[in-house]
Amino acid sequence: MTLKNQFYHLFKIYKMSYTQKAQELYTMIGSGQLLDAFEKFYSEDVVMQEMGEEPRVGKAINREFELKFIGSVETIHGGGVDHITADETNGVVMVENWMDLTFKGGTRVKLEQVCVQEWDGEQIVKERFYHR
C-alpha cells in the first residue's frame, strides 16, 4: 500500500461522524466558545431559521444575530444537550438542547429547543430551530 493510500485509509477510519461534529460544536458552545464554534462549523452561505420567522441567509447576517443574542444575556445559569441523533448518510443532525439564562433587565428563562442541521462535509449549511 502506498503512503497516499495509507493516509486515505486512516482518514476514512478517523473521519468524524456528523454526530461527533455536533457533539464538538455543543462542547465548544458549553465552554463559552459560541463564536469560535460558529466560525468553525457554519458555512459562508449558511441559512438559519427560527420557528415562525423568515430565514437568515449568509454567515455575516447570522453572526450579527448571534452577537445580538449574546449581548442580550446577563447571566448563563446552565445549559446542555439532552439528545443528538443523526442521519449519517444524508448529513442531517437533530439536537435537543436547553439553556437557563437571565436576560439583561432581569428576566430569567429556560429556553428549550430542537435544531435540525443539514451538513455539507465539515460545515452546517442549513439549521432550523424549533423552540418554546
**Terminal-residue alpha carbon distance, the chain:** 54
The confidence score (pLDDT) of residue 107 equals 96
The confidence score (pLDDT) of residue 5 equals 61
Residues with pLDDT less than 70, the chain: 1-14
Domain of 114 in residue numbering reads as 3-131
CA 21 from chain center: how many Å? 9
The confidence score (pLDDT) of residue 15 equals 85
The confidence score (pLDDT) of residue 3 equals 67
Taken in order 99, 47, 36, 10, the sign of the CA dihedral is positive
Q: Which residue is listed with cell 500500500?
A: 1
Domains of the chain: total:
1
DSSP state letter for 20: H
The confidence score (pLDDT) of residue 90 equals 97
One-letter amino acid identity for 118?
E
CA-to-CA dists, residue 109 to 62, 63, 67, 113, angstroms: 22, 23, 19, 13
The CATH code of the domain that includes 115 is: 3.10.450.50
Residues contacting residue 115 through CB under 8 Å, at least 6 positions apart: 94, 95, 97, 127, 128, 129, 130
What is the SS3 assignment for 60?
helix
